[in-house]
Amino acid sequence: MARDPWARERLDPLRHKAAHGLLREHLARYRLAAELLGGRVLDAGCGTGYGTAILAAAPGIREAVGVDRDARAVAHARRTYAGPGVEFLRLDLLDPRARAIGLFDGIACLEVLEHLTDPERLLETLDLCLAPGGLLLVSTPLGRGRAAPTNQPGHAFQLRREEFTTMLAPRFRARLFGQKGEAVELWRPGGRYFLMLALCRSRGDRPPARGAR
């Protein structure tokens, strides 16, 4: 494993052992996204890019675009995982100009919301970038709530289940899943999950953009 603190925090199969528990959990989520999504797919918050490459290799995905606002992550992704059907862009999806990347049949947004103080802005962009009939797979850790402090590096919060579904409800119809270890299953009471995933379709009757009159 690299000694660089940035590299330690940015998971990558080339840097971390296959037995690395956190990496295995991340890989399980990307494998699920590869099964559920198809067509032109956006990896929103792609990090080092290994997940975008997993998506691009799926039979039903013709193009995968990885986007991250971290210049170093995008540079690493381009060096390491670029290839046919895979593109990496440095882009801040909270910037309204980011919508110029066009529409996607599928979007994966895995472990991004909890890093933002205003995650609703990101969900607004993802909704507007989702093609009619498209699917969004979004995940975030299960925690004590948006108002509770968290000691996880870089996390602004960790949502409760009710907060997560309420956050999604204005824009999406969502089916909720839970993850424990590498296993992902439909949400069931008492499941003792550490992470929530939602498979979403846009409601179509989108609420007004923030700041619109």
Q: What is the pLDDT of residues 145-180, one digit of tens each?
A: 998 888 888 899 999 999 999 999 999 999 999 999
| Residue 212 domain-assigned (yes or no) | no
Q: What is the pLDDT of residues 103-150, one digit of tens each?
A: 999 999 999 999 999 999 999 999 999 999 999 999 999 999 998 888
| Residue 194 domain-assigned (yes or no) | yes
| Residue 209 domain-assigned (yes or no) | no
Give residue 6's pLDDT. Answer: 37
| Residue 69 domain-assigned (yes or no) | yes
| Residue 145 domain-assigned (yes or no) | yes
Please report, for residues 129, 134, 207, the alpha-carbon distance to residue 204 in angstroms, rounded to integers and kept in the order given: 12, 11, 9
**Tally of structural domains, the chain:** 1
| Boundaries of domain holding 10 | 5-202
| Residue 136 domain-assigned (yes or no) | yes
Q: Residue 197 belongs to a domain with what CATH number?
A: 3.40.50.150
| Residue 211 domain-assigned (yes or no) | no
Residue 33 pLDDT level (bands cut at 50, 70, 90): very high
What does DSSP say about strands 104-110 and 39-44: parallel, antiparallel, or unpaired?
A: parallel
Q: Is the overall model pTM greater than 0.95, yes or no?
A: no
| Residue 116 domain-assigned (yes or no) | yes
